[in-house]
Amino acid sequence: MRIGIVGGGLMGSGIAEVSARAGVDVTLIEVDDAAAERARKSIERSLERAVGSGKLQAPERDEALSRLVYSSDLGDIAGADAAIEAIIESESAKQQLFRELDRLLPDAEFLASNTSSVPIMKLAAETTRPERVLGLHFFNPVPVLKLVELVRSLMTSDETLIRARSFAEGQLGKTTIESKDRAGFIVNALLVPYILSAIRMYESGFASKEDIDRGMVLGTAHPMGPLALADLVGLDTLLYVANSLYEEFREPSAVAPALLQRMVEAGLLGRKSGRGFYDYTS
């Protein structure tokens, strides 16, 4: 099987790495050669880390590397059996991409989006065959977290759902859950209001960020606290999801706190920018 992945950021490269390790040929498309090169480096680093920690043998790493092709030409996706979009969370950019994927991949088993905030129906509606479009929502870090949400729009066919589930479970070894096409799907609809509450708690001076995080790690056995998790997810992504939840449900719990908005405006996006609630530069 050959999968086309568009977008080689944190999520796209994670999906590409996991796919290549599972024996799937991958064509990873980025906006330009420099971005494609960054994606290559990040995947190679991650594979090296897996070899270093004994989770992957060197021949398996080489096999995975041989399955990965990088390109800045979307046309190179032609002939892929299916595609997963993992570009920036811009509705218009994603819509434009789905129009092109529809044209380039007339026979694809499915056209999936890893979006966490754009309704799948808005992407499917741009294509001539909305029945083969669905959401395949992975979690960060993709090589570690087992879950994939399958998101079915009003138009997604049973066949598309079965094929996508078989890819995520049968090929990649992930566990899937199924959600309707509602803002936040299942996990973010629960997770994001929780993280926003933690930001409000910190913003109001109720407790220190360290104590909020320590409280949830030690008090509820979460692997990390909500503010550290916000930094991992990326504060810009968090803001996108919060806004889409608010737009859809109009619940106060989804209102983005002013502090989150200011931090995104300041470019304090979390781990990816080096600083968010915590400092990652050292």
Rounded CA-CA distance 241/119 in Å is 11
Catalytic one of 13, 85, 137, 153: 137
Cα 240 → chain centroid: 13
Q: Report how many residues bind ligand 3HC under the rule CB under 6 A.
A: 17
114 catalytically annotated: no
First to last CA, the chain: 41
Q: Is 224 in the site for ligand 3HC (CB under 6 A)?
A: yes
For residues 245 and 77, give the distance between their C-alpha atoms in angstroms, rounded to a whole number.
32
Marked catalytic residue, from 30, 85, 89, 149: 149
**Shortest distance (Å) from residue 125 CB to ligand 3HC:** 22
Q: In which region does residue 185 sit, left (phi positive, over 0), alpha (psi from -120 to 50) or beta (all else)?
A: left
Indicate if the alpha-carbon torsion angle 55, 60, 64, 66 is positive or negative: positive
Q: Which position's Cβ is nearest ligand 3HC?
A: 116
Least Å distance, CB 37 to ligand 3HC, is 19
Whole-number minimum distance, CB 144 to ligand 3HC, in Å? 4
Residue with smaller CB distance to ligand 3HC, 117 or 153: 117
Positions 89 through 128 that interact with ligand 3HC (CB under 6 A)? 116
> Does the protein bind ligand 3HC through residue 233 (CB under 6 A)?
yes
Beta carbon of residue 25, minimum distance to ligand 3HC (angstroms, whole number): 21
Phi first, then psi, for residue 30 (nearest 5°) are -125, 170
Which tokens belong to 61?
């790493």
128 neighbors 138 (Cβ within 8 angstroms): no
Residues 6+ away with beta carbon under 8 Å from 16: 5, 8, 26, 28, 39, 43, 68
In the complex, least distance from residue 255 CB atom to ligand 3HC, rounded to whole angstroms: 18
- Considering the candidates 46, 113, 114, 116, report the single residue annotated as catalytic: 116
User: Which of 46/113 has CB closer to ligand 3HC?
Assistant: 46
Asked if 277 and 231 touch (Cβ cutoff 8 Å), the reply is yes
Please indicate whether residue 116 is annotated as part of the active site. Answer: yes
Q: Give the residue from 68, 77, 6, 72 showing the smallest Cα distance to 43.
A: 68
Site for ligand 3HC in 32-61 (CB under 6 A): 46, 53, 55
Look up 188 and say whether it is catalytic: yes
149 is catalytic: yes
x/- string (CB under 6 A) for ligand 3HC, residues 131-170? --------xxx-xxx-------------------------
Contact 127, 85 (CB under 8 A): no
Query: In the numeric block, which tokens belong to residue 268?
Result: 């304090």
> Which residue ranges make up the site for ligand 3HC (CB under 6 A)?
46, 53, 55, 116, 139-141, 143-145, 188, 223-224, 229, 232-233, 237
Which positions are annotated as active-site residues?
Answer: 116, 137, 149, 188
